[in-house]
């Protein structure tokens, strides 16, 4: 067991030293997230959101 524990601790210390820019998976995920957030909402989605808002307004009596 001591060898296994040493391997785990070695892996942790190596990952602790890693900077976010050195992590290719994290970098790719951030890039993907940024691309998705930058996409415009489809017209159909905006229409559905408008319908929901109108229904909520009618139900609550707000205008």
Cβ pair 24, 30 in contact under 8 A = no
Instruction: Identify whether 8 is part of a domain.
Output: no
Instruction: Identify whether 40 is part of a domain.
Output: yes
Instruction: Identify whether 1 is part of a domain.
Output: no
Instruction: Identify whether 24 is part of a domain.
Output: yes
Instruction: Identify whether 34 is part of a domain.
Output: yes
pLDDT score recorded for residue 61: 81
Per-residue pLDDT tens digits of the chain, which is 63 residues long: 566 666 666 655 655 666 766 899 999 999 999 999 999 999 999 999 999 999 999 998 865
Q: Whole-prediction pTM value? A: 0.43
Distance in angstroms (rounded) separating the CA atoms of residues 33 and 9:
31
Instruction: Identify whether 55 is part of a domain.
Output: yes
Q: Give residue 28's domain range.
A: 20-63
Instruction: Identify whether 61 is part of a domain.
Output: yes
Q: Which two tokens stand for residue 25?
A: 């998976």
Indicate the number of domains in the chain: 1
User: What does each C-alpha distance from 32 to 1, 4, 26, 37 come to in angstroms?
Assistant: 40, 36, 10, 9
1-40: b (≥16 Cβ within 10 Å) or e: eeeeeeeeeeeeeeeeeeeeeeeeeeeeeeeeeeeeeeee
């Amino acid at each position: 067991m001591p060898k296994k524990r040493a391997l785990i601790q070695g892996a942790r210390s190596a990952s602790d030293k890693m900077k976010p820019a050195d992590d290719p998976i994290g970098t790719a995920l951030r890039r993907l997230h940024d691309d998705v957030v930058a996409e415009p909402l489809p017209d159909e989605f905006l229409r559905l959101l408008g319908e929901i808002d109108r229904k909520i307004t009618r139900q609550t009596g707000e205008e």
